[in-house]
Amino acid sequence: PRQNMQALRKKLYAVSEAKSLYDITLLAGDGIGPEITAATVKAVEAVGSNCGFEVRWDEQLIGGVAIDEKKTPWPKETLESC
């Protein structure tokens, strides 16, 4: 596993400059979205822990849940965060 992480790290560095902190807008939406994004957050944080970076998540509304709460599927706050 350690060798795989080193190979992955080399590939990531080859395509972009590595950072220690990433800001990511999280759009769980509705349906199975919350389950999928919860698992994704865990996976990304595990990778970050092994590769030396952190993620600052900004959870925003989109889709049906946004319509229920904000009366629009794509709230202004969501657009601004992206």
pLDDT at 17: 74
pLDDT tens series, the chain, 82 aa: 666 777 777 766 665 677 899 999 999 999 999 999 999 999 999 999 999 999 999 999 999 999 999 999 999 999 999 9
Residue 23 and residue 56 in contact, taking contact as beta carbons nearer than 8 Å:
yes
In this predicted structure, what is the pLDDT of residue 36?
96
25: left (phi over 0), alpha (psi -120 to 50) or beta: beta
Share of the chain above pLDDT 70, in %: 88
d(CA 44, CA 76): 26
Contact by Cβ (8 Å): 78, 25 = yes
